[in-house]
Every structure is written in structure tokens, then in C-alpha cells.
């Protein structure tokens, strides 16, 4: 991948310049495997700024803990947290997901549990994508047993018309068609998470992986 260099002024009063490497945002190596870009980096960042403002208004004056669902939500959570102008805490859970396949199994296994107690806390569960909704439904049931004061969901994406369980997603940034997508934290066989946007893969990428 190509990189270029940006120069930034050094500390005030110093004459030095700091050289910071800047990635080429086009991500050319990964783009060869993409069929279509569904959401651009700009669209994603604009919606995150809006959602962050909304969440900051809704939770003003209240304690807030964000719980990210690893690994998919990690990229989204990093940007979302920085768009919420409030004191807040982070925690993470890891659950089993698809592996190299693209269909949900409905079986959810906790691979990493929370580090902190959430009893009496205001919890915002941060998810990358709601597909069948089975993962989220399981997580919400599990977290409710720990008696948080409030429990809401913020999901970057929700696929339309495929949820198998009724779910309330308070903050949903985008609705997308029921297609398999990668990028911005979402993977296929652990790749493509580092794309700054969301897109679909060319069919031969799946074929080659089998």
C-alpha cells in the first residue's frame, strides 16, 4: 500500500517539525476484492458525529459505560466514543461469530466477559451490525440479568427484513439491504476490518476462500 508523509509543526516555541506517516485512504490493495462501496467514509463519519451529539444530549449528567462487542464493533466504538462529549467508560465483550462462513448459526458463545460490574450503571451496547438479531438478543438478555440502571443499543448497521427476533435498537446509524458486507470493523475470514468504509465483496473472494 502506498503511504505519503505529512509534516506537522512541532511543539509551540520549538523549530522542529514532526513527520507523521499518512495512509493512502484509498486502500488500493483491499479494494481489488470489493464489488461495491455501500457507505463511504464521509457518510459514516457524518452519521457518527450526529449520533454522538444525540447520545451526549440523552446521557448528559448521567454516568455512561459503552460496551463494545469485539471484534467487529471496535473500529466503530473508537470513533463513536470520541464523538460523545461526556465522561464515559469503555468495556468489551467478545462473542463467537461466523468464522469464515457468511450465515449466522444462532449459537452465541461468550469468549470474553466484561471486566466491570454494570449493576446500577447506564449501559450502551455498541454493535457493528444487526443481521438475524440473535447475537444482540442473547447479549441483551445476558446483560439484563446483571441489573444495569438502563440498557440501550447503538448499532452501526441493521440489515432490513431479516431479523428473527424483535429488537429495540435506540441508535441505528444505517439500514442496509440484507447482503454480506465488510469494512469499518466488519470482516470476512478476519480480513477487511481496516477498510475505512463499508462495501460488498466480489463473488470470487468467497469462492477462493472455500
Residues found near ligand IMP in the complex (CB under 6 A): 69, 72, 97-98, 104, 127-136, 180-182, 186
Rounded to whole angstroms, how far apart are CA atoms 106 and 110?
A: 13
Rounded to whole angstroms, how far apart are CA atoms 208 and 210?
A: 6
Kindly tell me which of 44 and 97 has the beta carbon lying closer to ligand IMP.
Answer: 97
Kindly tell me which of 48 and 59 has the beta carbon lying closer to ligand IMP.
Answer: 48
Residue 60 and residue 33 in contact, taking contact as beta carbons nearer than 8 Å: no
Task: For the CB of residue 37, give the shortest distance to ligand IMP in the complex, in Å.
Answer: 14
> DSSP readout, 78-92?
HHHHHH--S--EEEE
Query: Is 131 part of the annotated catalytic residue set?
Result: yes
From the candidates 128, 131, 187, 208, which is the catalytic residue? 131
CA distances from 172 to 48, 99, 115, 124, 158 (A): 10, 25, 26, 12, 7
Kindly tell me which of 59 and 158 has the beta carbon lying closer to ligand IMP.
Answer: 158
Task: For the CB of residue 93, give the shortest distance to ligand IMP in the complex, in Å.
Answer: 11
CA distances from 40 to 2, 16, 36, 173 (A): 20, 36, 10, 13
Task: For the CB of residue 71, give the shortest distance to ligand IMP in the complex, in Å.
Answer: 8
List the catalytic residues.
131
Amino acid at each position: 500500500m502506498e503511504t505519503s508523509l505529512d509534516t506537522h509543526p512541532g511543539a509551540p516555541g520549538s523549530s522542529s517539525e514532526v513527520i507523521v506517516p499518512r495512509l493512502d485512504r484509498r486502500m488500493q490493495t483491499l479494494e481489488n476484492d470489493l464489488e461495491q462501496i455501500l457507505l463511504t467514509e464521509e457518510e459514516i463519519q457524518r452519521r457518527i458525529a450526529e449520533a454522538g451529539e444525540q447520545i451526549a444530549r440523552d446521557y448528559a449528567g448521567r454516568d455512561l459505560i459503552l460496551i463494545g462487542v469485539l471484534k467487529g464493533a471496535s473500529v466503530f466504538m473508537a470513533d463513536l466514543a470520541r464523538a460523545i462529549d461526556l465522561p464515559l467508560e469503555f468495556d468489551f465483550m467478545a462473542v463467537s461469530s461466523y468464522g469464515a462462513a457468511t450465515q449466522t448459526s444462532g449459537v452465541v458463545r461468550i469468549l470474553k466477559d466484561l471486566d466491570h460490574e454494570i449493576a446500577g450503571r447506564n449501559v450502551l451496547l455498541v454493535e457493528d451490525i444487526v443481521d438475524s438479531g440473535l447475537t444482540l438478543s442473547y447479549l441483551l438478555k445476558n446483560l439484563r440479568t446483571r441489573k444495569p440502571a438502563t440498557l440501550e443499543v447503538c448499532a452501526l448497521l441493521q440489515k432490513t427484513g431479516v431479523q428473527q427476533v424483535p429488537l429495540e435498537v435506540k441508535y441505528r446509524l444505517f439500514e442496509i439491504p440484507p447482503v454480506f458486507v465488510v469494512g469499518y470493523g466488519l470482516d470476512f475470514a478476519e480480513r477487511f476490518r481496516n477498510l475505512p468504509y463499508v462495501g460488498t465483496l466480489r463473488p470470487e473472494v468467497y469462492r477462493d476462500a472455500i
